[in-house]
Amino acid sequence: MKKTNKVSIGRIVMALCLALALSSGVLLSGCSLFSIGLPPKPVKPNFAGTLTIPTSYDDIYDALAYIMEMQNPNGGMFWGVLDNADGAPMPAAPGIEALGIEAKEAASGSNSSYSQTNVQVRGIDEGDIVKTDGKSIFIVSGAEVVIMRADGANTIEVARIKIEDVIVNKNENSYPVYPRELYVVGNTLVILYDYSIYEMINEPTYTNETAGSDASVKDYYYPSYNYQTFTEVACFDISDPAKPRLVNVFGQDGSYLSSRLQDGILYLISSYWIYNYLPLDRDCPEMFVPAFYTGAAVTLVAPRDVCILPDLDSAAYTVITSIDVAKASCIDQQSILGSNNTLYMSYDNLYLANGVFDEVVENSYKDGSFTVTEYRQINSTRIIKFSIADGKIDYIADGLVPGVVVNQFALDEYEGYLRIVTTVYSNSYRTLEDSKSKIYDYGSYEFEPPTNALYILDKDLEESGSITGLAEKERVYSVRFDGAVGYFVTFERIDPLFSVDLSDPKNPKIQGALKIPGFSTYMHIFGENRLFGFGMATDEDGRTQGLKLSMFDTTDPFNITEKHVFNLGDTYSNALYDHKAIIIDAEKNLIGFPVGDGYEVYGYSDERGFYKRQAIEFKTDEFYYYYFNQRGLYIDTYFYICAANNVGVYTLDTLVPVVQIPIEVDDGYFNKPLPFVDEAIATDNGTPPPSARG
């Protein structure tokens, strides 16, 4: 495992080396960026149909060489490392598999009760833009984290943390840095953020060679840049919330993907992409292997800590680090070569799911002088399982199931089995080839209607039982597992809510299918024998008609009825696809979520159904985004609605307004120049050049 004291090795220096090579024509020794003559043709690694652990950096290089040759056959080995958040896969729209918003005793030992982030699995926390420990509220606000003392009418801002002040890989050419998510662990505030820095590879040039052009107007040739993206974790001591103290900073290559926190151990996941911009060198693993950072110290991942997927189809890593928050120390690292975009974590295991594209030859025959080959294409999901005992990340198994998942809560572990719900997309086509006349053509391209499936996998991710071919022409919109029962919603014009008996993992059975207008994108257990659905109402043709609240009676889980429904009208909420944006507490009769430019709180009873408890409309000249990303939470007898630019305090029992506290937002971009803006060009041509990547 290679260590160095500076991030620039193999990364920032790489761009400088390339510039020197281009300008001087000198062949560099050591980590050479060019070779004399054409590079050798990559050889396909022997993946043997299963995940492999490389024994050397050469194995990793060969895997990357193969996949990048397939992606860019004319580019040969002239590739490079380029990180940028825009190129990384977006996190899957999250879902909910929570047992409820749990009131928690404050760590200080007081009798304070407060709500927590709505999470998928009770006891496994997820990062969010607002957190509370029952005494303070921590809010992501632009480029800063704002700390509020939560005290009802006396709530006040006490401190701010500007993230740009704590980043490790500082660079005069970096983009503004924004916190992504937060955690609070005892007296430690954990801030997660990612950012990009860039180095110019070649200088911009100006010419007046355009025929007939005015000599006063310059032609501009855009420079090329090498980008690097880092995900970091800053741990602050908040024993005194008014004086947060930086304890340590951890980081890793790539853009932020997701995270989880269990028993004081943080699991940080990022996506690290290798792009075709700079030449790779087999002898320089710094160019194609991710690194981890503890402060300014850099550790390159060892080959034994890399897993190579068998169906490798992208030059991307998923990078995982486990961190002991209390000790402010790194426990373990693991990287998977092959993109992964969905994370599910149980108490004992961490699962990564990645969509892959399979193509098989179903038939081949002669038709006159033509050879006809029939192909079938199907989207599948590759699942990788790691054990996480005491933060040690160990590979256990990997498996493949047909179809793709809607989000994280389509996966669930129960009594040693993994249950997963997918939507299966497939198509077929055929090719005609005449080797003598060199005629090659495609024909008969047919899309098959989607279907849906449920698979149960054992501890080795081998199939134990399944249900396939469900709800043709529809797709999955939401999934909810509740012990030995599973619920999932598919939709085309109406909303079939399926209930599945999962008590026998070898023989799952569909026991009920309730068909109603609309669909739910989010489901949540609401007290005993009640299932709450949050989604969209639709007309008879399947056109959406605004938000809809549903309450299902699950007294008999295999004979579900819709007990009450409430249509909010033609409006939208980001809680449709972000489970953290909604707060639900059956005991406190509380269902709250952002709606349009406001926030609404509902109550529910079997007698009254849904009823509106409070509707708050914000009238402001500030960016709409601030109110679009709100969080509701309660501490003792007060309810707080938190946005990046405002905190509203209300009584919890009656939701009467108490006080509004404005927050001045530091937007980051307005406080530093944007990259690629050349003042000379802006003066000569009137507008700055557009961004040029690579």
**pLDDT tens digits for range 47-86:** 446 788 999 999 999 988 887 776 654 433 333 332 223 3
Question: What was the pLDDT predicted at 473?
Answer: 92
pLDDT at res. 8: 35
Element of type H or E holding 227: strand 224-237
Task: Name which residue leads in pLDDT, 432 or 565.
Answer: 565
Write out pLDDT tens, residues 129-141.
999 999 999 999 9
| Banded model confidence at residue 619, pLDDT cuts 50, 70, 90 | low
Q: Which residue in this structure is represented by tokens 């090329």?
A: 224
pLDDT in tens, 13-39: 333 333 333 333 333 333 432 222 333
- Residues 78, 72: Cα–Cα separation, whole Å: 10
Q: Distance of CA 544 to CAs 423, 517, 541, 572, 599, Å? A: 21, 10, 9, 11, 21
Give the Cα separation of 129 and 524 in Å (integer): 21
Token readout for 167 is 């980043």
Q: Tell me what pLDDT residue 217 has.
A: 52
The overall pTM is greater than 0.85: no
- Band (pLDDT 50/70/90 cuts) for residue 436 is confident
At CB < 8 A and 24+ separation, what contacts does 620-627 make?
Answer: 620/645, 620/646, 622/665, 624/597, 626/665, 627/594, 627/597, 627/598, 627/599
Checking if the pLDDT of 520 tops 50, the result is yes
Q: Is the pLDDT of residue 210 over 80?
A: no
Query: Which residues face 76 on adjacent strands?
Result: none
Burial (CB < 10 A; 0-12, 13-18, 19+), residue 1, is exposed
Provide the token pair at 513: 């299918």
pLDDT band at 582 (very low <50, low <70, confident <90, very high): very high
